[in-house]
Chain A
Amino acid sequence: MTTPDTSGAAGGGTRTPQVSYRQARSLAEAVFEVGGLSVFYGDHEAVRDVNMSIGDRQITAMIGPSGCGKSTVLRCFNRMNDLVPTARVHGKIHYHNEDLYGREVDPIEVRRRIGMVFQKPNPFPKSIYDNIAYGPRVGGFKGNVDDLVEETLTHAALWEEVKDKLKTSALALSGGQQQRLCIARTIAVKPEVILMDEPCSSLDPIATAKIEDLMEKLAEEFTIIVVTHNMQQAARVSHRTAFFTADVDDKGERHGRLVEYDETARIFSNPSDRRTEDYISGRFG
């Protein structure tokens, strides 16, 4: 496995050596337990029978061809699928042994603990400062917002780049900076888990490398689940990888399913399923 060239990376935080870091994490306790998960959009079963558990402070990558339901599964983890009127979720998703879809569970409370970063950078059309402060403010934060903004931006390795233009519009930043701002905005709420839905798909390689560095840094504190179509990215940053694929039924509809879920090193060197091997070697998808 190769470490990405990080010469362009921002932030000067010390990094734990890769190898020991990953070994230490492979024994992590589970944060999410997923069993028999199926998601329907109307009558269409988008994902079928997913079983997996996700370790604390690990980076878990979800890969697979488009239409395999990996983003759908990701959106179940913080109940963003609630926003799709026709979506229905069956099966078990437990977060710290609590059913995420339990009757009394409050999606707002869930999302304050489980944040999300989207495919396209979507900063609010407000200042950089307000973007960071938004989450804490709506959550009832009573402390010093200035300190929080500085702390968060430093944490996200963005402080040096933006400290002189906190009051300027976030839309004036470059795409990569916008995406790191969106990550910073997410950690400002102090979540436990960060979901990332193809966070680098609209970015250039240099911006992508910076985000990957940031992900590794954040994995010391946060559990990260990242959906990516970029296998190299999954191989570079993740500890465990889930490979999804789509079955096409006789009506031509696609049903996603989880094929294989294992340590990343294993998936990319010695997968147990033929389809995984085909996909990672580029023969499929």
Chain B
Amino acid sequence: MGAPVVTQDAPALPPPRLKGRGTPLRERFFRLGLWASLAVGVVFLAGLLLYVVVEAWPRLDSRIWSNFPDIIDPTNAGAQSAIMGTLWVIAFTAVYCLPTGILAAIYLEEYADPDRWWNKVIEINIQNLAAVPSIVYGILGLGVISRGLGFGQTVLTASLTLSLLVLPIVIIASREAIRAVPQSIRQASLALGATQWQTIWRQVLPAAVPGMATGSILALSRAIGEAAPLLLLGGLTFITFNPTGIQSEFTVLPIQIFNWISQSRAEFVALASAAIVILLVILLAMNSLAIWLRNRYARRW
């Protein structure tokens, strides 16, 4: 046949089909699979929280924070020394790691030339430290801080160890907060004849504080939950008194929980659960504060 000639009475072509045949089955399965991966996390989390609260319920009363650990009589035992120990250790961890981490972040973001080898070393070093197992920090605390510097099994040793443990997290979070401050603010300040430090102190840091605070709180909540490094520092010793200073011996909630989990009698399971609830409530409070800060001071540049 020759070239078709379209004439007016030629049969019209069928209209193009734009309507699909619906989503193919494998697409639906794929999507369902992805969704299920998240659902597993949600179900696990819900199960865990439910289990802990149900187990803790009979013991969730004032005994848990007003009494001290009791090895003989679980019905009389509480976790006051562990709660107070946790507060002491975290307060000093914050004192040591927050200034150090924020200052290091300022250096790396505002001063360091990233092409210099020593700055690259610092950078890789921080990334690695963020992933070093926490028990290795326990070895550091045991070998260098507790025995080497002779600080012993004290609040001081524990908070120094934990502050080194979460330092990389503080640095990384603070760097992100500093980086989020637009370059135009720095330029404006410098063009007005401000020095570099004036620019950082009066413009960059105030704008970065909410982000740094959020990151710092999350870092500290990581420290609150840590047990492994403190096991090595002798935190498991049976402690029935609150710390009175940085030279005090101490115990903290995660250690006390571990201690009770290891007991054979069933009453200790409820006790451990109750202490877990206390620990989770503290963490929840800190995280809520972090989220509130993030939303309250979220900046629109």
A-to-B contact residues, CB < 8 Å: 78, 80, 83, 85, 108-109, 111-112, 115-116, 118, 120, 122-125, 134-135, 138-139, 182, 185-186, 189
Contact = CB atoms under 8 A, between A and B. Distances in A.
A112 B191 CA distance: 8
Contact of A80 (B115, B191, B202, B299): B191
B113 A112 contact: no
A74 to B, nearest CB: 11
B190 interface: yes
Interface string B183-202: 01111111111110010001
A83 B187 contact: yes
A75 to B, nearest CB: 10
B100 interface: no
A136 to B, nearest CB: 9
Nearest to A139: B193
A192 to B, nearest CB: 12
A4 to B, nearest CB: 27
B189 A134 contact: yes
Contacts of B192: 111-112, 115, 134-135, 138-139, 185-186, 189
Nearest to B198: A138
Contacts of B190: 80, 83, 111
B145 interface: no
Given A83-B190, A189-B192, A138 B184 contact: no
A186 B191 contact: yes
A112 B193 contact: yes
A189 B193 contact: yes
Contact of A116 (B182, B191, B198, B207): B191
A83 B187 CA distance: 9
B242 interface: no
A135 B203 contact: no
A83 B190 CA distance: 10
A182 B113 contact: no
Interface residues of B, number: 21
B187 A124 contact: no
A138 B189 CA distance: 9
Nearest to B203: A124
Main secondary structure of the interface of B (DSSP, over half): helix
B123 to A, nearest CB: 16
A245 B60 CA distance: 78
Contacts of A189: 192-193
Given A134-B202, A138-B198, A138-B202, A124 B193 contact: no
Nearest to B183: A83
B202 A118 contact: no
A159 B289 CA distance: 41
Given A83-B187, A118-B184, A120-B184, A138 B113 contact: no
A122 B198 contact: no
Given A118-B184, A120-B184, A125-B207, A138 B191 contact: no
A128 to B, nearest CB: 14
Contact of B113 (A85, A118, A135, A185): A85
B188 to A, nearest CB: 5
Contacts of B195: 108, 138
A111 B193 contact: yes
22 contacts: A80-B187, A80-B191, A85-B115, A108-B194, A108-B195, A111-B190, A111-B193, A116-B187, A118-B188, A118-B191, A124-B188, A125-B301, A134-B202, A135-B192, A138-B193, A138-B194, A138-B198, A138-B202, A139-B193, A182-B188, A185-B188, A186-B192
B297 to A, nearest CB: 11
A188 to B, nearest CB: 8
A122 B185 contact: yes
A124 B185 contact: yes
Nearest to B199: A138
B191 A78 contact: yes
Nearest to A188: B192
A111 B187 CA distance: 11
A135 B203 CA distance: 12
A134 B187 CA distance: 13
Select the residue from B184, B190, B299 with max chain A CB neighbours within 10 A: B190
A11 to B, nearest CB: 23
A138 B198 CA distance: 7
Nearest to A131: B188
B193 A135 contact: yes
Interface in B171-225: 182, 184-195, 198, 202-203, 207
Given A85-B113, A134-B202, A124 B191 contact: no
Contact of A122 (B115, B184, B202, B299): B184
A72 to B, nearest CB: 15
Select the residue from B190, B193, B207, B301 with max chain A CB neighbours within 10 A: B193
> Which are the 10 A-B pairs with shortest beta-carbon distances?
A112-B193, A135-B192, A116-B191, A122-B184, A138-B194, A111-B193, A138-B198, A122-B188, A139-B193, A108-B195
